[in-house]
């Protein structure tokens, strides 16, 4: 049987959870014998993505992509003309590869990239599979229009990464469609990025960790405020944060200064960006993911489960689908530092819970269908 061909649209220049998850799908399909061609952004391909493509022998070609910055205010005539020119060039290049490669499917994972390719999609009969890793952009009237009039109608099937995202898709005008699926992420490939952070080391006592972007909407400041309250009360509790401090340097410096001015005595540590995830999870007892933003799912929660580490989370987006409160982690009653502190104190006052919740977290990998076998079989059902 001839291998199915899949044309993948990958215009992202950064390489965070959303991008890694898309690349994980490409890797799976490549390993299962599908013929993939990835069209990446000619203006930049993250080293992590490039490393996976090269290691997995995934073909990739750089083309010009419009830039999201072209859509930001203030709008000027010159800016609009520049954006429209990029859209034309983008569609010409994409159409050329579409005709040459002749795929069975187009795999896309971003609404901005979808909108830019509507001119081509209008004249193409190739089935579009949209891996929906974020809720539809409905807050902007223009994008709400594109979603309702084009994206939900032109997409053959959506693969949503959580029930939360599937609900948002329905609200965007898709309705109930039997072709659409919910497939939880399998922890995406991280290998390939330069390791620039400090190596996480195990300490005597109890260590709470944070792994993710050091930005305000992730609830990092609330985590730091909770940490400062706890270290004032408990002498043998530590906090270990891993994430890029340069992504939002101003915010990172604010947190570093706040920590420096506290009485933490070096018990709150910023590692910077890391890729040695195994060592990190060996160094912590509990992972805290207090995202204020509605998270589509939360890859780090699954990574923690694989390592037998319980999670403390905010009741945000799709994350509560993965955490069973009081069984394999804790869900904060509200999105405050005090609530994080209260959940941490439950583990501090009863350390035996960490072992119990950690074992349950490991078991939940199979109970929730987060294992690789489930991930693979569901994706192979989508592209058959």
> Bridge partners of 127?
105
pLDDT score for 187: 84
DSSP alpha helices (H): ranges in 36-110?
A: 47-55, 77-101
Band of pLDDT at residue 72, cut at 50, 70 and 90: confident
Kindly indicate the confidence band of residue 69, based on its pLDDT and cuts at 50, 70 and 90: confident
Please report which confidence band the pLDDT of residue 191 belongs to, taking 50, 70 and 90 as the band edges. low
- HEC assignment per residue over 101-131: HCCCEEEECCHHHHHHCHHHHCCCCCEEEEE
Mean pLDDT, rounded, for 144-165: 98
Domains and CATH numbers, the chain: 5-184+371-382 (3.40.50.2000), 206-367 (3.40.50.2000)
**311: Cβ–Cβ under 8 A, 6 or more apart, which residues?**
286, 287, 288, 289, 301, 304, 305, 322, 323, 328, 329, 330, 361
Span 198-219, pLDDT tens digits: 455 666 789 999 999 999 999 9
Does 4 score more than 80 pLDDT? yes
Sheet containing 286-289, strands listed edge to edge, beginning at the edge strand earlier in sequence: 268-270, 237-242, 206-211, 286-289, 311-313, 329-331
């Amino acid at each position: 049987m001839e291998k199915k061909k899949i044309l993948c649209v990958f215009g992202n220049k950064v390489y965070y959870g959303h991008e890694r998850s898309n690349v994980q799908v490409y890797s799976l399909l490549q390993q299962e014998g599908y013929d993939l061609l990835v069209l990446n952004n000619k203006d930049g391909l993250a080293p992590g993505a490039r490393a996976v493509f090269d290691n997995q022998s995934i073909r990739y070609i750089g083309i010009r992509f419009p830039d999201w910055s072209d859509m930001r205010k203030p709008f000027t005539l010159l800016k609009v003309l520049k954006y429209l020119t990029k859209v034309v060039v983008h569609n010409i290049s994409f159409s050329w590869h579409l005709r040459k490669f002749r795929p069975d499917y187009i795999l896309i994972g971003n609404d901005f990239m979808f909108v830019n390719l509507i001119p081509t999609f209008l004249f193409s009969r190739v089935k579009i599979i949209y891996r929906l890793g974020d809720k539809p952009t409905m807050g902007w009237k223009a994008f709400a229009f594109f979603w309702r009039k084009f994206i939900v109608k032109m997409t053959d099937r959506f693969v949503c990464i959580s029930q939360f995202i599937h609900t948002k898709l329905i609200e965007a005008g898709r309705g109930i469609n039997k072709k659409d699926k919910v497939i939880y992420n399998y922890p995406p490939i991280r290998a390939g990025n330069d390791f620039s952070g400090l190596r996480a080391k195990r300490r005597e006592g109890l260590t709470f960790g944070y792994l993710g972007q050091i930005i305000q909407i992730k609830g990092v400041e609330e985590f730091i405020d909770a940490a400062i309250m706890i270290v004032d009360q408990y002498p043998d509790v530590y906090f270990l944060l891993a994430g890029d401090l340069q992504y939002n340097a101003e915010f990172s410096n604010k947190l570093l200064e706040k920590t420096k001015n506290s009485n933490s005595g070096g018990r709150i540590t910023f590692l910077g960006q890391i890729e040695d995830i195994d060592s990190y999870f060996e160094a912590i007892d509990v992972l805290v993911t207090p995202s204020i933003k509605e998270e589509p799912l939360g890859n780090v929660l699954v990574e923690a489960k694989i390592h037998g580490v319980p999670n403390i989370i905010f009741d945000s987006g799709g994350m509560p689908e993965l955490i069973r409160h009081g069984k394999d982690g804790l869900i904060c009653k509200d999105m405050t530092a005090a609530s994080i502190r209260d959940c941490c104190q439950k583990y501090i006052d009863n350390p035996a819970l960490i072992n119990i919740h950690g074992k349950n977290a490991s078991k939940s990998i199979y109970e929730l269908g987060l294992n690789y076998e489930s991930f693979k079989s569901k994706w192979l059902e989508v592209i058959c």
